[in-house]
Amino acid sequence: MKRPYVILLSVLAAVLLSAAPSRAQDETFLALRPDTVLCIPVVFGDSGRGEYTLTVEDPGFPPGGWADMHRSSFVSGPENPVTTPVCFSTRNRRVGEQATVTFTVESPQGKKSTQYGICVSNHEDSDLVESDKGPCDATVSHTDVFTLDLAEREKYAAPGETVRFNVLVSSEFDAAVTLSKESGPAMTIGQATLEMPGDHNVELSVVAPQSAGDATFVIRASAAGCALESCSKTVSGVIHVGEATPAQPFSIELSPSDKNVAGTEPAKFFITVHNFQASQAFSITVEFDGSALVSDFTPIQLRVNRDESTMIDFTVVAQTAAHRVYTIVAGAADASGFRKTSQAVLTVQEPVSDAQRRAESDPGLKDAADGFKERYESGPSLDDWESVSTEPPSGTGQAAGPAPVNWLLIAGAAAGALLIIFYIYRRTRVYGELQEMPER
């Protein structure tokens, strides 16, 4: 048995407990290797004081399950948040097995559910996407052609105030990505069309409505000339209009939450700290999953005024171009020692691993996946990805489905059967007529 390893992904846990708007149709899809354990740290009490209950709906439980915990309750608050891990396991499961596990958190702020689609694969991955497909299909159909995120997903404002957000877009493919308003209040997008490959930080100005309440907005990004599902994405944010300062002393976000690079080129991330108390200094740190990542980040002291946010950036470089998923953890601590963290995922060669995962269920596509890997390593091309991702099933694998019906053969067989029936009928009819003829 392979030695299990643990990856901490707060990009997953944050979806559960954040006060930001829920993208109800989104689901976190995880491709986990066989005999692997992945733990998600769930934080209780970060956004309010009271009783929290986590219920895990697991299709494999009982008797066995995909998760190691199925119900837990805590009384907590911002001053003493409780963090507990929920671990997924693929021990004794075969490549191609899949399941959807649902986390439901009941808190003083209400009830919220998040789904995790788990696919057992030799090619690990993590994605937060909108899909009604099974976990193994969704991890292939939603390859990150580009990354789309907000540096900060929620802000507070007075009625009519203009609020500024930062839209983060990056890609290793040669594509033009267009930003547009999907829904929400009046807004101005600093730059509508972005040329890739590259990293872009676009300013977004949103005008808060005159009435109090939560104003949600949605931004869509689309890659020109590409009809694939993953060539169009949305990201949502919220403005809390006329609301009081939240109970939490400050927030920290590491963005983008999920980023892909083709190899050993630098990957840029942003840490955003929003202070809700009196002006104070924060100690900012970053931890990396293993020693295979090199960064220009150094621990710093950062002062942030009340009701303001500050954003800093740093780059990370993977020391090998081979496919791998890395976890990055950013932390902030105030003068009292209260500490919060936010995490992100860096994936190297995600499109290659997605193509190989597709070949797992249909071995006839292996040559196409291997060919794409060679071309990708020499220079990622969106045309190449469209070609391999739309390659029809070969008919030799599990996912190929039933063979197409040959209607000509069926029609020919039916015609032959009718001729035989007609022949038997005629012979029977003639024999009957001979029997009825009078003797001479």
3-state secondary structure 17-79: HCCCCCCCCEEEEEEECCCCEEEEEEEECCCCCEEEEEEEECCCCCCCCCECCCEEEEEECCC
What is the span of the domain harbouring residue 180? 145-244
In a domain, 92, yes or no: yes
Least confident of 91-105, 219-233, 277-291, 401-415: 401-415
Average the pLDDT over 48-53 and give the result.
Answer: 82
Q: What CATH number did the domain enclosing 213 receive?
A: 2.60.40.10
Only one residue has tokens 């390859």, namely 143
Alpha-carbon dihedral sign for residues 88, 90, 92, 93: positive
190 shares its domain with 273:
no
Each residue of 171-229: pLDDT tens digit?
A: 999 999 999 999 999 999 999 999 999 999 999 999 999 999 999 999 999 999 998 88
What pLDDT score does 338 carry? 86
Q: What CATH number did the domain enclosing 303 receive?
A: 2.60.40.3880
In a domain, 300, yes or no: yes
The Cα-based distances of 204 to 167, 188, 213 in angstroms read: 7, 6, 20
> Phi and psi at residue 35, in whole multiples of 5°?
55, 45
The domain boundary residue, chosen from 316, 331, 348? 348
The domain boundary residue, chosen from 227, 244, 261? 244
27 shares its domain with 127:
yes
- pTM for the model: 0.78
Tell whether the model's pLDDT for residue 243 goes beyond 90.
no
Q: What percent of the chain has pLDDT over 70?
A: 81
42 close to 16: Cβ distance less than 8 angstroms? yes
114 shares its domain with 210:
no
Each residue of 363-380: pLDDT tens digit?
A: 888 999 999 999 998 889
Least confident of 22-31, 99-108, 317-326: 22-31
In a domain, 338, yes or no: yes
150 shares its domain with 40:
no
123 shares its domain with 190:
no
User: Which pair of structure tokens corresponds to residue 63?
Assistant: 């008797």
In a domain, 232, yes or no: yes
Average the pLDDT over 280-292 and give the result.
Answer: 89
H or E element: which one contains 433?
helix 407-436
150 shares its domain with 34:
no
20 shares its domain with 127:
yes
* Three-class SS state of 246: coil
What pLDDT score does 395 carry? 62
Q: What CATH number did the domain enclosing 83 receive?
A: 2.60.40
What pLDDT score does 219 carry? 97
* Three-class SS state of 262: coil
What pLDDT score does 132 carry? 76
What's the total number of domains in the chain? 3
Average pLDDT, whole number, for the chain? 82
62 shares its domain with 16:
yes
69 shares its domain with 195:
no
257 shares its domain with 218:
no
The domain boundary residue, chosen from 88, 119, 142? 142
In a domain, 161, yes or no: yes
What pLDDT score does 197 carry? 93
What pLDDT score does 128 carry? 76
286 shares its domain with 309:
yes
172 shares its domain with 239:
yes
In a domain, 337, yes or no: yes
- Which of 231, 238, 259, 176 is closest to 386 using CA atoms? 231
Tell whether the model's pLDDT for residue 296 goes beyond 80.
yes
In a domain, 404, yes or no: no
Least confident of 79-83, 101-105, 123-127, 260-264: 79-83
Q: How confident is the model at residue 26 (pLDDT cuts 50, 70, 90)?
A: low
What pLDDT score does 178 carry? 97
What pLDDT score does 8 carry? 41
In a domain, 407, yes or no: no
Identify the residue with better confidence: 144 or 135: 135
